[in-house]
Homo-oligomer: A and B are copies of this chain.
């Protein structure tokens, strides 16, 4: 029976480079929140733009967050996911040289940075054909 396969670090890095949308989970006093975000890889760090007054801007800086990227096909019942877990640093937007695309037209006043070298990076693959209905 096929199972979830573990992705190598190289495969995780490739998926992180090739994607632009992630979900970031933070813990708050009233439980976890998840926020879909655009992100970019800049100098071996994941960077996310946000707003200081938002859920992310309030609860991510200085705390451990979990960023998830995936591509899961409802047709093939197959896909992959990559998790990046680590402490988020808060920077001002002008601290980054590289532009950071976002699809939401909103002013951002905080950049969250997760340095990959200081994070847990892990990935899983559900290969096509592994899925079944039960």
Contact = CB atoms under 8 A, between A and B. Distances in A.
A30 to B, nearest CB: 7
A115 B9 CA distance: 38
A47 B103 CA distance: 31
Copies of the chain in the assembly: 2
Contact of A63 (B1, B31, B101, B131): B31
B23 A23 contact: yes
Contact of A103 (B30, B70, B78, B102): B78
A6 to B, nearest CB: 14
Contact residues on A (Cβ < 8 Å of other chain), bracket: 35 or more
Contact of A131 (B31, B78, B85, B104): B104
Given A31-B63, A63-B31, A131 B106 contact: no
B64 A31 contact: yes
Interface of A: 1-4, 19-21, 23, 25-27, 30-34, 36, 63-66, 68, 70, 72, 74, 77-79, 81, 83, 85, 99-106, 126, 130-134
30 contacts: A1-B105, A2-B105, A3-B104, A4-B104, A4-B106, A19-B74, A21-B72, A23-B23, A23-B68, A25-B25, A25-B33, A25-B66, A27-B27, A27-B31, A30-B64, A31-B64, A31-B65, A31-B66, A31-B85, A32-B64, A36-B68, A36-B70, A36-B79, A100-B134, A101-B133, A101-B134, A103-B131, A104-B126, A105-B132, A105-B134
